[in-house]
Every structure is written in C-alpha cells, then in structure tokens.
Amino acid sequence: MEEFFQQLTNGLAVGGIYALIALGYTMVYGVLKLINFAHGDLFTYGAYLGLTLLTSLALTDRLGFALGVLVLVLMVMGLVAVLGAILERAAYRPLRESPRLSAVVSALGASIFLQNTLMLIYGARFQVYPDDILPAATLHVFGLYLPLMRVLIVLASVLIMIALYLFIQKTKIGTAIRAAAIDQGAARLMGIDVNRVILLVFLLGPALGGVAGLMVGLYYGQINFTMGWVYGMKAFTAAILGGIGNIPGAMVGGLLLGVIEALGAAYISIAWKDAIAFLVLILILIVRPTGLLGERVADKV
C-alpha cells in the first residue's frame, strides 16, 4: 500500500506538470484550432531560463527559499510568455488564413529552431539544477514519507490551475477567451478584439509551460534541450485525452495521464511506460472519440 501511495503522489506531481503544459496546447487550440508543436520547446526554455536565473542571481540565497522561488517563477513566467508572443507573431500570424497543416509545419520548424538555439547556447549535454536549493526534507503525511519537493509541486500546480479556472470562468477577459474559442466571428461582432485574445492566450499558455519546465528542473534536477518533445507529446496526449480545446479537460487529462504512467511503470513494466500512456489514450478515444470532456461535434452539412 505504501508503494501504491508513493507512486500515486509521484503520478500526481508529474500529472500536474503535464496538465500545466497541456493547458497551453488546449488554449491555443481552442482559439486558433492550431496544434502548437513548439509549445513543448517553450517549456524547455522555462527550464533553462530557470536554471540560468537561479544560478546567476542566487535568488534563493538572497531571499530565502519561498520568496526566492516565487520571484524565480514570476520571472520565468514573464520571459517565456514574451517568447510565446514573439513565436505567435513570427510563425503563426502570417499563416492564420492558410491551410491548417501549413501552420503545423511552421510550428514544427519553429520547434526545431528553438531546440537547436538552446543546444548552441548551452551545449547538448544534460544540465544539472543545484540540489541544495531545498533541504532534502520529507513530509510525514497520513503515515507516508513524501519528498517536500513533490508535495510543493502538486500544491503549486493545483493552485495555478484553480487560479486559471477562476480567471477563465469569472472574469470578463476569461469570458472573451471562451467566446473567441466558440465562434471567432460572433465574438468579433460582440466587440471582442480577437487579436488581443490570441495574444493573451499566447502569453498565458507559454507562461504556464515555462513554470512546468522550472518544476521539472526542480523535481528531477536534470534537464536536456530535447525534453520538450517528450513532455510536449505527453502533454498533447493529455490535452486530447481530456478533449482538446476544453480547459478543465486538459487539467483532468494531465493528472490522469501522470497517474496512469506512474502506476503503469510501477506495476506493469517500466520499459513500456510510454507505450502504456498511448495505449490508454487510444482505448479512451475508441470509446469517446472526442476525449473525456470534449463535446460531441456533429458534422454540418
């Protein structure tokens, strides 16, 4: 039982990270119907920027752990958000009226470009996060000994998701994002500046992805310039699992995928971990062709 709960909490931590990345995919998809294949690389930028800022500014030494990491998170969010906005401007805006697959190829090109830029700057080897940021403490909860970092990551990702959910559901800007996702033309007629909504989505999504990158760095301690593809693919799977375009769907899909993977790796086979995640996705799509929370769309004649 101990083993089960350890894997479960580990799955929730990884799932929270997947969910944060998946939100970026799903928000962009909701508004633009575009699969932003470069999103995973923005996530990697979050991890690398986090590492550079952490080591060069020594934030945690100066401000203490809590405040230091908070400042770090905000800086990473801001920088990656700007990067996201630049990406939209350079790679996607010129293709907005073009066939959808052209934008996909442009996204793939952007992804390759971003990845190799990182490689040229930092080198191809794994980069290591300092491991003395946080004392290797464990928390004693309900008879379980959990690493402090794991608990913090689960809490932080849940907190960020709740904040995003409230923002999307309760504020006027959030309503505008939802409106633009349902019908861009109608939203425009209602006086919504769709271009600003798109810009906002390209600020928000990458900001969340950047935080997720930072979390991976802090959680695993190792980052690599190609990890955006692996995590991006997983997060995209999570977004599809929940029903792409659906914001709560991405959250549920991410957490679910993380847990399935962790339990699958522990109880079935670690070598087949990634295959299990995809197999579950395929099985769910056979039963529910538009994901768990995706709405059924009828073909219009």
Partner 1 sequence: MGRLDLPFVVAFTVLMTIAPLFLNAYHVDVLNSIGLYALLALSLNLILGEAGLFNMGHAAFYAMGAYTAAILNTRYQIPILWTLPLSGLVAGLFALAVARPVVHLRGDYLLIVTIGVGEIVRIALVNDVFGITGGANGIFGISRPKLFGFVIRQPQHFYYLIWGFVALTIFLFYRLKQSRFGRALNYLREDEVAAEGSGVNTAYYKLAVFGLGAAWAGMAGTLFAAKMTIISPESFSFWESVVLFMIVILGGAGNMAGVLLASFLVIGLPELFREFSSARMLVFGLVMMIMMIVRPQGLLPARGR
Give me the residues that bind partner 1 (CB under 8 A), please.
29, 35, 90-91, 94-95, 98-106, 108-117, 119-120, 229, 233, 236-237, 240, 244, 269, 271-272, 274-275, 278-279, 281-282, 285-286, 289-291, 297, 299-301
- List helix spans (H) across the chain: 2-32, 39-57, 59-63, 65-87, 100-122, 148-170, 172-182, 184-189, 194-220, 227-242, 247-267, 273-287
Would you say 147 or 291 has its CB closer to partner 1?
A: 291
- Name the minimum Å distance from CB 115 to partner 1: 8
Please check whether residue 244 is in contact with residue 39, taking contact to mean a CB–CB distance below 8 angstroms. Answer: no
- In angstroms and rounded to an integer, the radius of gyration of the C-alpha atoms of the chain is 19
Nearer to partner 1, 36 or 127 (CB): 36
User: How near is the Cβ of 271 to partner 1 at its closest, in Å?
Assistant: 5
CB of residue 241 to partner 1, shortest distance in Å: 9
Taking the complex as a whole, how short is the minimal distance between the CB of residue 266 and partner 1, in angstroms? 17
| Shortest reach from residue 32's CB to partner 1, in Å | 12
Distance CA 39, CA 108 (A): 10
What CA–CA distances, in Å, run from 87 to 34, 42, 45, 93, 107? 13, 9, 13, 9, 9
> Which C-beta is closer to partner 1: that of 49 or that of 91?
91
Q: Which is nearer to partner 1, 71 or 108 (CB)?
A: 108
Residue placing its CB nearer to partner 1 in the complex, 62 or 96: 96
Quickly list DSSP for 22-42.
HHHHHHHHHHH----TTHHHH
